[in-house]
Amino acid sequence: MSSPRAATTLVVCFVALALLTLLSLALGAQALSPAQLVHALAHPFDGDQADRIVIGLRLPRTAVALVAGASLGLAGAVMQGVTRNPLADPGLLGVNAGASLAVVTAIGVFGVGSASGYVWFAFGGAAVAAAVVYAIGVLGQGGATPVKLALAGAALTATLTSIVTLVLLSHQDVFQQFRFWQVGSVAGRSLHDVGVVAPFAAAGALLAIIGGRMLDVLALGDDAARGLGLNIPLARAICAVAVVLLAGAATSIAGPVVFVGLVAAHAARPVAGHDHRWLIGLSGVIGAGLLVASDLIGRFIAPPGELEAGVVIAIVGAPVMIALIRRRGAVMSA
């Protein structure tokens, strides 16, 4: 696809994301008028009810959705490129499983009971799991090939998931706390939590953008990439670190949200084609929009309560994914 079309689509996606963000701040159990919303944003410390709703509740959860959604979208595009697998997802590197085991450890061993306390454990677990997968992948002939990375990730995910299940079955009190994180949610977090993970997400986004051109060359195959002078181990390492930072940041603050990275990359591909620089940018914006929209839908789908964003995206994501695959002709090459 042409760059002008991709650029136009990117601008449209940014506009749509801005509108979704405003709706997320204005709508909920108590809808706010445009005047109330503007006043709350312009005078955040006045202390009236609208200000408390916007600044204290909706702004943090919207910020979490934006950061986590964009990070997952970027990570999904990079993962599909580095593994040359159109069904790759950030969880392929064991990120979700590593974060889950770390959160279980935080609750059961260290007695952590707040979302802000989970962040560092979840991020550390995600990073360690992805590092282990990459270390296993580089062993043997050929280095970290897409197939070896996928198999190592699947094996580690299965192992860590079994350990998590065993711990939860043995400790009911840990399960009660863990399930609120495991379902995937943007509620109950603070702007401080966002501030903790935002630098890691920003660093991951920068590495993803740097790796975009490398992924274009890697898509030609290892032999062709080597002939063009690409340092293949370095390229894969940069992309792997980007995924660790992005998916680790998103998982630590929002839980193991599924489908965002997968759907965002597939939705962006018809416009971006095989140009990973456009694909990565579009995937990030689409991923942010998906999670913000899922959180917004969840506020109204089960009144008087609400569904968590992770549940909504799982329900909506499956049929959307099927439709995208059918439209694209089932299996694609990244």
Task: Give the Cα separation of 312 and 59 in Å (integer).
Answer: 20
Q: What is the pLDDT of residue 278?
A: 93
pLDDT band at residue 328, thresholds of 50, 70 and 90? low
State both tokens at 239: 């992309």
Q: What is the pLDDT of residue 327?
A: 66
Task: Give the Cα separation of 7 and 195 in Å (integer).
Answer: 29
Question: What is the Cα gyration radius of the chain?
Answer: 20
The CATH number of residue 273's host domain is 1.10.3470.10
Write the DSSP assignment of 171-201 as a string of letters: -HHHHHHHHHHHT--STT--HHHHHHHHHHH
Q: Is 84 part of a structural domain of the chain?
A: yes
Cβ(115)–Cβ(255) under 8 Å?
no
What is the pLDDT of the chain when averaged over all its residues? 86
What are the pLDDT digits (tens) for 251-265?
888 988 888 998 899
Task: Give the Cα separation of 28 and 251 in Å (integer).
Answer: 24
What are the pLDDT digits (tens) for 161-212?
999 998 888 887 788 778 777 888 898 888 988 998 999 999 999 999 999 9
Cβ(307)–Cβ(242) under 8 Å?
no
Q: Is 273 part of a structural domain of the chain?
A: yes
> pTM to 2 decimals?
0.89
Q: Is 27 part of a structural domain of the chain?
A: yes
Task: Give the Cα separation of 194 and 49 in Å (integer).
Answer: 23
Better-scored residue on pLDDT, 43 or 160 = 160
Structural domain of 23 = 3-312+323-328
Q: Is 334 part of a structural domain of the chain?
A: no
Task: Give the Cα separation of 211 and 24 in Å (integer).
Answer: 32
pLDDT mean over 309-326? 79
Cβ(75)–Cβ(243) under 8 Å?
yes
Q: Is 333 part of a structural domain of the chain?
A: no
Placement of tokens 């299940």 in the chain: 165
State both tokens at 119: 């962040």
Q: Is 211 part of a structural domain of the chain?
A: yes
Share of the chain above pLDDT 90, in %: 35
Cβ(157)–Cβ(136) under 8 Å?
no
Number of domains in the chain: 1
C-alpha closest to that of 276 among 249, 321, 239? 239
